[in-house]
Amino acid sequence: MIPEFEKFKGFKAKSIPKDEPLASGHRACQGCGEVLALRMVMKALGRDVIVCSATGCMEIISSPYPHTAWRVPWIHIAFENAAAVASGVESARKVLKRKGKIPKRHVDIMAVGGDGATGDIGLQWISGAFERGHDFLYVCLDNEAYMNTGVQRSGCTPYGAMTTTSPPGKKSFGQVTWKKNIPAIAVAHNIPYVATASPAYFLDLMNKVKKAALVKGPAYVHIYSPCPTGWGSAGERSIEFAKLAVETRVFPLYEVIEGRYIMSRKITKPKPVTEYLKGQKRFRHLDEGHIDYIQKRVDVEYEKLLRLAELT
């Protein structure tokens, strides 16, 4: 058990912090599930945090004047560097504290990026930071493609999804690879805390982020972030899709604490994946064969997780 967790009782719906470290008035799209998740992340962390933000939607919607939304120290860096810059921030604070140049109070350090910044271009630097064991949390807001540059595929784009660089047509059915499992890569680094979260389960999300901040050493939280613009889904249905992703087992919620898998929400009667796929333009070209494949693979992946939870 992690000693830092002992005093943390979890957030309650009634006592969610009213403070908004990420202010409203930014310019995210209507129904953006990503900014909603980020707002919850920031509520969980409060204001004693330094945010290292990779290039991506959340940086673009929150930084141009007069739509600046950050009320905490914030550094925007290039696309792949969030984990490396956060490592520098953490090391510098450690050194400056040791030398007595800054007060010894604890400040959380968060690196945040999208699925492209995390799973594609920035993966190597995340691996380095996890290996070195910096005391920081990395939050990936996964909307499953490069949304701010024109919806290009990423390693986290799900099988079959249409993007501008995986267009379906006569010879293609969209994305040909299965979604890259970034949480598993994080787990493989033997860091103390890894979790998946969804804005549809906001208390669970906030608790996981808080735990990731409390734990000593690196922590990783992978957050599913619906994107009406890139997915071709209705803005008002974002939370519904986030919920369906969990209920169909497409995006399972779990924690891995010191290597032990714990299911946050066991889905014993899963809905068929079609319920999740329909209503999203990115999947509308898929035929029965593809949907059948997705269903089977989702079941297999979920079984694997259950077995990991049993074994560990």
Partner 1 sequence: MKELSILMGGQAGDGIRQAGNTVARLLNRLGYRIFFYDDYPSLIRGGHNFSIVRAADKKIRAHKENVDLILAMNQETVKRHRWRLKAGGEVIFDSGKVETQGIGLPFKEILREHQGAPIMRNTAAIGALAGHLGIDWEVVAEVIRDTIARSKETNLKIARTAFENTVDSGQKIDRAGAPAVPLLTGNEAIAIGAVKAGLNMYIAYPMTPASSILHYLASHEDDLNVVTIHPENEIGVALMALGAAYTGARVMVGTSGGGFALMTEAVSLAGQAEIPLVFVECQRAGPSTGVPTYTMQADLSFVLHSGHGEFLRVLMAPGDVEEAFYLTALALNLAWKFQIPAFILSDKHLSESTSSFEGDPAEIGPQPPISWDGSGEYKRYRQTEDGISPLAFPGTRDAVVKVTSYEHDEHGITTEEPDEITRMQGKRLKKLEKLKSELGRQELVKVYGNPRAERALICWGSTKGACIEVAEELDLRVIQPLLLEPFPMNEMVKALSGVKTLIDVEVNATGQLSSLLATKGIKADRKVLRYDGRPFTIDSLKNDLKEVL
Q: State yes or no: residue 24 binds partner 1 (CB under 8 A).
A: no
Rounded Cα distance between 136 and 117, Å, is 17
Q: State yes or no: residue 61 binds partner 1 (CB under 8 A).
A: yes
Given 76, 208, 237, 249, the residue binding partner 1 (CB under 8 A) = 76
The one segment of 1-9, 88-96, 164-172, 202-210 that binds partner 1 by CB under 8 A: 164-172
Map residue 226 onto helix, strand or coil: coil
Q: Could you tell me how many residues of this chain bind partner 1 (CB under 8 A)?
A: 31
- Cis ω on the peptide bond leading into residue 66 (within 30° of 0)? yes
Given 68, 91, 164, 312, the residue binding partner 1 (CB under 8 A) = 164
Torsion, CA 59, CA 60, CA 61, CA 65, rounded to 10: 100
Check: CB of residue 155 under 8 Å from CB of residue 171.
no
Map residue 69 onto helix, strand or coil: coil
263 bridge partner residues: 254
Q: State yes or no: residue 31 binds partner 1 (CB under 8 A).
A: no
The one segment of 53-61, 107-115, 214-222, 250-258 that binds partner 1 by CB under 8 A: 53-61
Q: State yes or no: residue 259 binds partner 1 (CB under 8 A).
A: no
- Nearest approach in angstroms of CB 234 to partner 1 is 14
The one segment of 13-21, 37-45, 72-80, 185-193 that binds partner 1 by CB under 8 A: 72-80
Which residue has 């379906």 as its token pair?
Answer: 168
Given 10, 167, 259, 272, the residue binding partner 1 (CB under 8 A) = 167
Q: State yes or no: residue 150 binds partner 1 (CB under 8 A).
A: yes
Q: State yes or no: residue 176 binds partner 1 (CB under 8 A).
A: no
Rounded Cα distance between 311 and 195, Å, is 18
Check: CB of residue 248 under 8 Å from CB of residue 291.
no
Count the neighbouring beta carbons within 10 Å of the beta carbon of residue 293.
Answer: 14
The one segment of 4-12, 21-29, 197-205, 289-297 that binds partner 1 by CB under 8 A: 21-29
Given 11, 22, 28, 93, the residue binding partner 1 (CB under 8 A) = 28
- Nearest approach in angstroms of CB 229 to partner 1 is 7
Check: CB of residue 127 under 8 Å from CB of residue 155.
no
